[in-house]
Amino acid sequence: SSNAMWGGRFAGGPDQIMEAINASIGFDQRLAAQDVAGSRAHAAMLAAQGIITDKDAEAIREGLLTVLSEIEGGTFKFSAALEDIHMNVEARLIELIGDAGRRLHTGRSRNDQVATDFRLWVRDQCDAAIAGIAALQKALLGQAEQGADWVMPGFTHLQTAQPVTWGHHMLAYVEMLSRDLSRFKDARKRMNESPLGAAALAGTSFPIDRDATAEALGFDRPCANSLDAVSDRDFALDFLSAASICAMHLSRLSEELVIWSSAQFRFVAMSDRFSTGSSIMPQKKNPDAAELIRAKIGRIFGAQSALLMVMKGLPLAYSKDMQEDKEQVFDAADTLMLSLAAMTGMIGDMAANPDALRAAAGHGFSTATDLADWLVREAGLPFRDAHHVTGTLVAKAEAKACDLPDLSLAEMQEVHGDITEAVFDVLGVDNSVASRTSFGGTAPDNVRTQIASWKERLA
């Protein structure tokens, strides 16, 4: 049998199993648009440098547009014998335009070609992640605005800690997501150098203009070292790292939504649009989207580990191992974008329940710290002593199965004689949150200031 690609060197074709393990066309067809863009830039540069004729460059340009429209229209016949997207596009180009197509690969290798295509693809995904994160931030900000002063329990160890405001809790995620967003911006900036023209590994003897192709493809500059340009996939790892951290944040928020929407909490009601029912239990309305986000993002962490594993043992420059970079990154990017979109929909739709939030905020001795602070301020106790006195009062309330404000003044004075009627002023949840005016604290006025500043930043 003949060999579709290297018939000069090879007498026969590959074994079927060889083709099965070697071909990447099943997945790297997702790089078609980037591959065509890279080839167009390369051909235009070859002509500008006098390496091919303008006539050939024009034929290549038109041929590539035809190839791309065939791919986008679903009429293109992908061939596993042609291994990957690069060879598939080039073979079809040659079929369409003949000899001019055979000149396209001058001064270029699939090694710099794939590195270029993949960078362009990952760069787009950074932009998509940035847009997706900004949309989610806006949804959270909408929630924060609505309930800037709704009181709810703040937790540590998922045990009632101190009252906070709903707006404050929503803005906590806005802050986390802003760091995620900046990680994608940062990754995008770092990856924005062009590998094109590094050729196989050593550069080329043709008088190519790497600045021109870099600029045509929107890169800031060409990669400075040809070995590095074709060898590294750290740009994809940067993307996966940013994606992993963002995904971790989405998963924590998902976990909270699952807890909050339970009948035991009733902090939020998810919309019908983002819930599912049960085939047996008629009353059920399940937060499946939140659960699926929580579960799916493991794929992103897995992708990051997998690509680190692929890369860690490779000597410079290219090894075929690196073909295993793509499926991981494709899947991780798809998972992240879907999760961001689903989370944005859930957050935008969900209805918080201010009454349930407020009722829960008052349970679990959430204002015990306010009581201890009062003892420091008004009775002059050292904080550690105030902590002990308050702890005794909590134990007393617990024994009576009541909350702190339900103890009588007499009962309080049995524990410490200096406690006066005025202590009851600090035991309410509204008073508690209003008093947290330190910078970054949960006081409604602070939260409103933060909301205003985020509205400006996200506009």
Residues with a known catalytic role: 157, 278
Q: Residue 232 interacts with ligand ARG (CB under 6 A)?
A: no
Stretch that binds ligand ARG, among 8-16, 157-165, 204-212, 317-325 (CB under 6 A): 317-325
Nearer to ligand ARG, 28 or 232 (CB): 28
Q: Residue 24 interacts with ligand ARG (CB under 6 A)?
A: yes
Minimum distance of ligand ARG from residue 201's CB (angstroms): 9
Contact 119, 127 (CB under 8 A): no
Q: What is the DSSP letter of 416?
A: -
Identified binder of ligand ARG from the candidate list 125, 231, 261, 323, rule CB under 6 A: 323
End-to-end Cα separation, the chain, in angstroms:
63
Rounded-to-integer distance, Cα 219 and Cα 381, Å: 64
Identified binder of ligand ARG from the candidate list 35, 51, 76, 84, rule CB under 6 A: 84
Q: Residue 322 interacts with ligand ARG (CB under 6 A)?
A: yes
Minimum distance of ligand ARG from residue 80's CB (angstroms): 12
Q: Residue 114 interacts with ligand ARG (CB under 6 A)?
A: yes
Nearer to ligand ARG, 223 or 322 (CB): 322
Rounded-to-integer distance, Cα 293 and Cα 288, Å: 8
Identified binder of ligand ARG from the candidate list 318, 330, 365, 454, rule CB under 6 A: 318
Stretch that binds ligand ARG, among 318-326, 343-351, 369-377, 439-447 (CB under 6 A): 318-326
Contact 213, 48 (CB under 8 A): no
Rounded-to-integer distance, Cα 341 and Cα 352, Å: 20
Q: What is the DSSP letter of 286?
A: B
Nearer to ligand ARG, 318 or 365 (CB): 318
Minimum distance of ligand ARG from residue 8's CB (angstroms): 16
Contacts of 94 (CB under 8 A, 6+ apart): 101, 102
**Site size toward ligand ARG, by CB under 6 A:** 10
Minimum distance of ligand ARG from residue 224's CB (angstroms): 21
Closest to 162 in 3D by CA, of 444, 447, 448, 442: 442
Contacts of 244 (CB under 8 A, 6+ apart): 300, 301, 304
Q: Residue 111 interacts with ligand ARG (CB under 6 A)?
A: yes
Residue with tokens 């094109």: 196
Minimum distance of ligand ARG from residue 243's CB (angstroms): 20
Minimum distance of ligand ARG from residue 25's CB (angstroms): 8
Stretch that binds ligand ARG, among 59-67, 110-118, 373-381, 387-395 (CB under 6 A): 110-118
Residues 243-302 within binding reach of ligand ARG (CB under 6 A): none
Minimum distance of ligand ARG from residue 244's CB (angstroms): 23
Strand extents, DSSP E, 90-235: 151-156, 159-165, 193-194, 221-222
Stretch that binds ligand ARG, among 88-96, 106-114, 363-371, 440-448 (CB under 6 A): 106-114
Nearer to ligand ARG, 6 or 439 (CB): 6
Using alpha carbons only, how large is the chain's radius of gyration in Å?
Answer: 31
Six token digits for residue 59: 């034929």
Buried/exposed 131-169: b ≥16 CB within 10 Å, e otherwise: ebbbbbbbbbbebbbebbbbbbbbbeeeebbbbbbbbbb
Nearer to ligand ARG, 85 or 289 (CB): 85
Nearer to ligand ARG, 27 or 424 (CB): 27
Q: Count the Cβ atoms, other than its own, within 10 Å of residue 246.
A: 26
Stretch that binds ligand ARG, among 89-97, 107-115, 207-215, 281-289 (CB under 6 A): 107-115
Rounded-to-integer distance, Cα 435 and Cα 432, Å: 5
* Length of the chain counted residue by residue: 459
Footprint of ligand ARG on this chain (CB under 6 A)? 24, 28, 84, 110-111, 114, 318, 320, 322-323
